Amino acid sequence: MLFDSPARSATPAPVPTARTRVRLGRRLGWLILATCALVALCAASIAIGAKPVPLAHILPTLIDPDHFDDGAIITGLRVPRTVLGLLAGAALGVAGGVIQAFTRNPLADPGILGVNAGAALAVTIGVAFFGMSAIGQYLWLALAGAIIATVVVWMIGASAREGATALRMTLAGVGVAAVLGGISSTIQLDHPSTFQKMAGWGSGSLLAQPLSAAVAVGPVIVIGILLAVIASRGLNALAIGDDVATSLGTRANITRTLAIFAVTLLAGSATALVGPIAFVGLMIPHVARAIVGPAQGWILAYSVVLGPCLLLAADVAGRVLMQPAELPVGLVTAFVGAPVLILLVRRSRVAAL
Amino acid sequence: MNTQFRFRKTLLALGGAALALALAACSTSAPGGEDASASAATRSVSTANGSVKIPAHPKRIVSIHSFSTESLLDFGITPVGVEDAGAEYVPQRYLKRWEPIEKVVQGGKVNLEKIAALKPDLIIGVDVPYLRDVYPKLEAIAPTVFAPFDEKSTWATYPAYTADYINAEPKLTELKKRYDDRIAEVSKTYADQLAKTKWAIIQGGFDDGNYWIYSDKTQVGTVLSALGAKFASATAGTPAGQNQSVSYERTDLLSDADAIVYYENNDGTPANNIAKLFALPGYQELPAVKAGLSIGTQDFLSGSYSDSLGIIDSIESALKKIK
């Protein structure tokens, strides 16, 4: 039921035809393939890095970190960044899928509700005025900033009688993000060392937080994904138009509220974990739609798998491209992802919303 | 209509105010002319941009780089405007004097209006790319002199050029003698320790996932060389005068170092992102770290003789621990 299209879920279940069965098979087949790719990328993320570690050392090290000298590199660096990549990638992919469906805008990314700007301002204030430098402090500041920014956007967007419509939310989000960005820049200009520290944070890194941060934020991301799944049916209906959706039994306001909650929790957590990483939330839903068409449930399922694929592929590439230095994942994501998006555009596979 | 009229009125009022300001500026520039004639004597000095004519006795100096600022403060001259790269990077010996000075460069952005408002008669800086770009505009405000920033420059370049710009040669000679004497003293006292110790120089950098290895021709490297110290492969292998960004996974590059010098803030905390490097098991396992010979210095990016004397003190604190 979870991945049913709205038309089917709102009408009596149709008798499965050969055609729907083929479509289901194709969607499942690609999803299994994407999951295999993700498993392979996780393995690559643990096996490949700036320091060559013999393949034979990897498994024993995972079981007993002190078995070889390389233990600290595998368990201390590569495992945490792989876990962070999995969590943040899934969160960004799903948040992108929800926000594009919510705004009915294929150019929307999770940052459009002011999430990144709110997180950045909170971290800037913490660093500039409270001398915060501990990694754990950034985490909760960023998450709180993201949530506060979205609540403000929501209050502005929902202040009219017709409620938080997509257009009002988008405009409120763009406006609030611009104001918050301006405040951040002003503070940073007045506190030059904060400017430098924020430049590092702003490029995004899977090493920004330790494994314990992933454990702390992981449940928030799981809740966000669950909310996105619950909202997915309503979003499918909203895609047809508010009136039709209402006649199909969808309560537009509840769906929108759920969607905004989901995006805030997901994008806020991802930004708190790895910094503001663009492009994943924009591109992944396009790839998913190219495969499954406009079925929100399926798009979310694919985004959960494809988001981490892109983030981990970018991170592994960033480790080997400029040896012995590493490129921050935020810089590489667009490098790795853009060719795929361009290919989709060329083959006219970009599905409209 | 009404609003349009009011808007026009505001414009007129603004125009009038601007005219009044311009006239006021003209009238105040006359006595300024007298000042200029009093110190009309000029002389030519050598800069990164060739020979430049500057006042023989500059009174209002704006310094737009930490190297020139620290050298000026070292010579007992307080500029009217300075750069601000972050208060935590200003060595303690200058902090109290640096704090109240007007900040004219922040976050790498040069505030030309602020500089012009300070009415400097000399602008001193260093020929680094972000300052080189604004040189023509600075030159239009006041004579501007940049010390060179090239492969031949060392930290000692900056006190030498700055002394020339402000006629502080006697003070320079005095400071240089103190430095040379201290180098001679420490290299003699700790000759045995220096002979058996290989040094690496690092800082945390700003990009997560990397730390920076510094070459033996950077500030700390130059002081260590003067002491007759030897370098570990990481620092010896880094191109002259530069630093290279290296993955956290490559702490093994520091494994042949007996001592490590890193950048710390003026409150003694590790500067920039290096706390992340310190937290790695790969770093904690290094021989230098285990021996307690990973030492910080707030004078890491020395721009004056006093800073470099500070580097000697930091190095000496490590040498004392070596049996």
> Is beta strand B294-297 parallel, antiparallel or unpaired with respect to B259-263?
parallel
The answer, yes or no, to whether residue B20 has pLDDT greater than 60, is: no
Give mean pLDDT, residues A187-208: 80
Say which residue, A235 or B294, is predicted with more confidence. B294
A120: tokens are 């950045």
The answer, yes or no, to whether residue A290 has pLDDT greater than 60, is: yes
Give mean pLDDT, residues A42-57: 87
The DSSP secondary structure of B181-213, one letter per residue, reads HHHHHHHHHTHHHHHT-EEEEEE--SSTTEEEE
In a domain, A310, yes or no: yes
A115: tokens are 């999430």
Is the four-CA dihedral A325, A331, A333, A334 of positive or negative sign?
negative
pLDDT of residue A12: 47
Window B:58-77, CB contacts with A under 8 Å: none
Structural domain span for residue A236: 6-10+40-346
| Mean of pLDDT over chain B | 86
The answer, yes or no, to whether residue B66 has pLDDT greater than 90, is: yes
pLDDT of residue A250: 63
A239 vs B47: CA distance, rounded Å: 67
Give mean pLDDT, residues A182-193: 84
In a domain, A35, yes or no: no
HSE, side-chain direction, 13 A CA sphere, residue A26: 11
pLDDT of residue B151: 83
Domains, in order of start, for chain B: 40-167 (3.40.50.1980), 172-319 (3.40.50.1980)
Lookup result for tokens 């609540």: A151
Phi, psi (degrees; rounded to nearest 5) at A290: -60, -30
**Looking at beta carbons, which residues of chain B come within 8 Å of A328?**
207-209
A81 and A45 Cβ atoms separated by less than 8 Å: yes
In a domain, A160, yes or no: yes
* Closest Cα in chain B, distance from residue A126 (Å): 15
Confidence of residue B30 (pLDDT cuts 50, 70, 90): very low
pLDDT of residue B45: 94
Instruction: Give pLDDT tens digits for B79-108.
Output: 999 999 888 899 999 999 999 999 999 878
Answer whether A326 sits within 8 Å of B247, measured CB to CB.
yes
**A5-9, A86-90, A258-262, A282-286: which range is least confident on average?**
A5-9
Closest CA to B318 of B250, B242, B223, B243: B223
Instruction: Give pLDDT tens digits for B170-210.
Output: 999 999 999 999 999 999 999 999 999 999 999 887 777 88
Answer whether B89 sits within 8 Å of A193, measured CB to CB.
yes
Say which residue, A23 or A271, is predicted with more confidence. A271
The answer, yes or no, to whether residue A324 has pLDDT greater than 50, is: yes
- Packed helices A115-130 and A252-274: angle between N→C axes, nearest 10 degrees: 40
Answer whether A200 sits within 8 Å of B248, measured CB to CB.
no
pLDDT of residue A313: 95
Domain count across chain A: 1
* Residue B254 forms contact with A (CB below 8 Å): no
- For residue A321, what is the domain's CATH number? 1.10.3470.10
In a domain, A72, yes or no: yes
The answer, yes or no, to whether residue A190 has pLDDT greater than 90, is: no
What's the distance, CA A238 to chain centroid?
Answer: 22
Instruction: Give pLDDT tens digits for A148-184.
Output: 998 898 888 888 777 667 788 888 998 999 999 999 9
B69 and B83 Cβ atoms separated by less than 8 Å: yes
Q: Which amino acid is at A83?
A: V
End-to-end Cα separation, chain B, in angstroms: 88
Phi, psi (degrees; rounded to nearest 5) at A317: -60, -40
**A91-100, A332-341, B243-252: which range is least confident on average?**
A332-341
Say which residue, B102 or A139, is predicted with more confidence. B102
Instruction: Give pLDDT tens digits for B127-159.
Output: 999 999 999 999 999 999 999 998 888 999 999
**Looking at beta carbons, which residues of chain B come within 8 Å of A197?**
206, 272
Q: Hey, what's the torsion of the CAs at A333, A39, A227, A140, to 10 degrees? A: -60
In a domain, A122, yes or no: yes
Cβ-count burial A226-238 (b if 16+ within 10 Å, e if not)? ebbbbbbbbbbbb
Beta strand spans in chain B (E): 42-47, 50-55, 61-63, 81-84, 102-106, 109-110, 122-126, 144-147, 198-203, 210-214, 230-231, 243-247, 259-263, 294-297
Indicate the burial class of B86 (C-beta count within 10 angstroms; 0-12, 13-18, 19 or more).
buried
Closest CA to A59 of A77, A47, A44, A76: A47
A353 vs A329: CA distance, rounded Å: 29
**A30-34, A131-135, A340-344: which range is least confident on average?**
A131-135
pLDDT of residue A349: 57
| Mean of pLDDT over chain A | 83
A334: tokens are 């667009």
Angle formed at CA A309 by CA A307 and CA A312, multiple of 5 degrees: 105
Confidence of residue B233 (pLDDT cuts 50, 70, 90): very high
What percentage of chain B carries pLDDT values higher than 70? 87
In a domain, A18, yes or no: no
Closest CA to A92 of A74, A69, A116: A116
Name residue B199's beta-bridge partners.
B231, B259
In a domain, A24, yes or no: no
The answer, yes or no, to whether residue B271 has pLDDT greater than 60, is: yes
* Residue B113 forms contact with A (CB below 8 Å): no
A186 vs A193: CA distance, rounded Å: 13
Confidence of residue A351 (pLDDT cuts 50, 70, 90): low
pLDDT of residue A197: 74
Length of chain B: 323
Answer whether B86 sits within 8 Å of A190, measured CB to CB.
no
Answer whether B280 sits within 8 Å of A72, measured CB to CB.
yes
Give mean pLDDT, residues A183-212: 82
pLDDT of residue B68: 96
**Looking at beta carbons, which residues of chain B come within 8 Å of A193?**
85-89
Name residue B201's beta-bridge partners.
B261
Answer whether A189 sits within 8 Å of B209, measured CB to CB.
no
The answer, yes or no, to whether residue B34 has pLDDT greater than 60, is: no
Which residue from A minimizes the CA distance to B250?
Answer: A51
**Looking at beta carbons, which residues of chain A come within 8 Å of B109?**
189
What percentage of chain A carries pLDDT values higher than 70? 88
Give mean pLDDT, residues B279-307: 92
List CB contacts of B96: < 8 A, sequence separation 6 or more.
none
Confidence of residue B47 (pLDDT cuts 50, 70, 90): very high
In a domain, A247, yes or no: yes
**Looking at beta carbons, which residues of chain A come within 8 Å of B85?**
192-193
Give mean pLDDT, residues A53-63: 80
pLDDT of residue A10: 43
pLDDT of residue B313: 95
**B47-51, B58-62, B125-129, B282-286: which range is least confident on average?**
B282-286
Instruction: Give pLDDT tens digits for B68-79.
Output: 999 999 999 999
